[in-house]
Amino acid sequence: MRAAFVFSVLALLASCGRNQADGQPSAGSSVVPGADEQARFDADRKPEKLVEAMAIGPGSRVADVGAGSGLITVHLARAVAPNGKVVATDIDGSVLDLLKQRLEAAGLGSVIEPRVVAADAPGLDDGGFDAILLAEVDHYFPDPVRWLSTAAKALKPGGRIVISNRIYHRAQTMDAARKAGLVLKSETNPVPTHFVAVFVVDSK
């Protein structure tokens, strides 16, 4: 019981971490982050490089795992608009309310599908996604190999799983992806502290 509780707390921190680390409000805040917070995040993390790595465009269907309040999600939504879809997942429904407000303020509310999921499962429909993004969340999974193996089933043929995290998590990410049957297609370092790795399903 204690172990399960500890993981739930850690997972909750993970879902909000990429926002709070950059000065964003917590899930319980009633304030939608403004343009200054978004601008600071964009300058520090260069989310446009994530969009580029995901190789998405108008009409694409993508998932943003652990989306938090939507600092990255808004970039994905702009990329797939007007007829694409971003399924934004998180374990905390209240933080997804902030995300929805952010996207509606940007005129992108129709592109977003917020989805509350369990901490140990992707919660994504099979064969439905061109790309799945995990930004600073994969190291929190209790069983990363099982999670990635399940997520791979949600990809369309030729779909990609894109993982971005801090450099010191890279070895763990690469090991889990390999064991899950994923193949590294490309890797970049858009900012010195983070890597962006693009994986496809092993076709063998």
The pLDDT of residue 2 is: 38
| CB environment 44-67: b (16+ within 10 A), e (fewer) | ebebebbbebbbbeeebbbbbbbb
Per-10-residue mean pLDDT for the chain, 204 residues long? 38 44 40 70 84 95 95 95 97 94 94 95 96 96 96 97 97 98 96 96 80
Query: What's the pLDDT tens digit per position in 64-123?
Result: 999 998 999 999 999 999 999 999 999 999 999 999 999 999 999 999 999 999 989 999
Q: How many domains does the chain have?
A: 1
Which residue stretches of the chain are H helix? 2-20, 35-45, 47-54, 73-80, 93-105, 144-152, 170-179
183: its two tokens: 């193949």
The pLDDT of residue 203 is: 77
Is residue 67 within 8 Å of residue 20, measured between CB atoms? no
The pLDDT of residue 182 is: 98
Is residue 143 within 8 Å of residue 119, measured between CB atoms? no
Verdict on whether the full-model pTM lies above 0.75: yes
The pLDDT of residue 46 is: 87
What is the C-alpha separation between 46 and 134, in angstroms, rounded?
Answer: 15
The pLDDT of residue 177 is: 98
What is the C-alpha separation between 88 and 167, in angstroms, rounded?
Answer: 24
Q: Return the CATH number at 134.
A: 3.40.50.150
Nearest Cα neighbor of 184 from 196, 172, 193, 192 is 196
The pLDDT of residue 204 is: 67
Q: Give residue 47's domain range.
A: 2-201
